[in-house]
Amino acid sequence: MRREERRAHILACALEVFAQKGYHSSSVSDIIKKAGVARGTFYLYFKSKRTVFDELLDDLFALLHTKVKRIDPSRGSVGVVAQMQSNIDAVMGCLIDNRPMLRLLMAGVAGLDSSFDKKLTEFYDRLVELTQHSLVQGHDMKVIRSVNVKIVSLCIIGTIKEVLYQIAMGRKMPNREILVKEILDYGLRGLLVPETASKLGFLSKRSTR
């Protein structure tokens, strides 16, 4: 068991280092210094610097996957909204409680580095797909109006990501409940007061695609 502990320790230190300086600016030296182990020890547990990063990302993705549940429509419109809220709440809660992981995820976004992209892209794609599914479900139940699900699902993900990004950057933010409520509220109701909405003619139907 000692062995797993050691490994976990190095992994945790690597996470902190990566979260602080980003992948490229972090050196193996940084990691082992923080972990208090010798250079060789690091390579005893991990094949390479890159491997560690991948493992952290994998862990993070796995964690998030357990947090996001597919929407079950059988519980009615109130239930659906509650489930959406629950998903957002779970994801944000878990990342806010794990700042290093959050920073890692946001640093990951950095992408453009072609090699990290695939994993990250896959992850977000799945998130987007789940969101799209929820939108279609909601539309079928006549809870959600006709929207371009592709674009709107990105908008939803985007709102969450941006708030998390600010938190990752160290910005002071209201506590989670308020964040979630406000994000959800924004997503569901938008900005307008109803009268204005109708006055502005925002009531035309459009196709789901």
Q: Which residues bind DNA (CB under 7 A)?
A: 2-3, 6, 26-29, 37-45, 47-50
150 binds a second copy (CB under 8 A): yes
Residue list 31-90, contact with a second copy (CB under 8 A): 77-78, 81
39 makes contact, choosing from DNA, a second copy, none, with CB < 5 to 8 Å by partner type, with: DNA
- 52: burial class by Cβ within 10 Å (0-12, 13-18, 19+)? buried
How far from each other are the two terminal CA atoms of the chain, in whole angstroms?
53
- Residue (8 or 144) nearer to a second copy, CB: 144
1 binds a second copy (CB under 8 A): no
88 makes contact, choosing from DNA, a second copy, none, with CB < 5 to 8 Å by partner type, with: none
Dihedral pair phi/psi, residue 119, rounded to 5°: -60, -45
The answer to whether 73 and 137 have CB atoms below 8 angstroms apart is yes
Closest CA to 20 of 166, 168, 164, 162: 168
Beta-carbon neighbour count of residue 48 at 10 Å?
A: 11
Closest CA to 96 of 180, 158, 15: 180
Q: How far is C-alpha 197 from the geometric centre of its chain's CA atoms?
A: 31
- Residue (21 or 99) nearer to DNA, CB: 21
37 makes contact, choosing from DNA, a second copy, none, with CB < 5 to 8 Å by partner type, with: DNA
Summarize as ranges the residues that interact with a second copy (CB under 8 A). 19-22, 24-25, 77-78, 81, 103, 106-114, 117, 121, 135, 138, 142-145, 147-148, 150-152, 154-155, 157-163, 165-166, 168-169, 173-174, 178-179, 182-183, 185-194, 196-200, 202-203
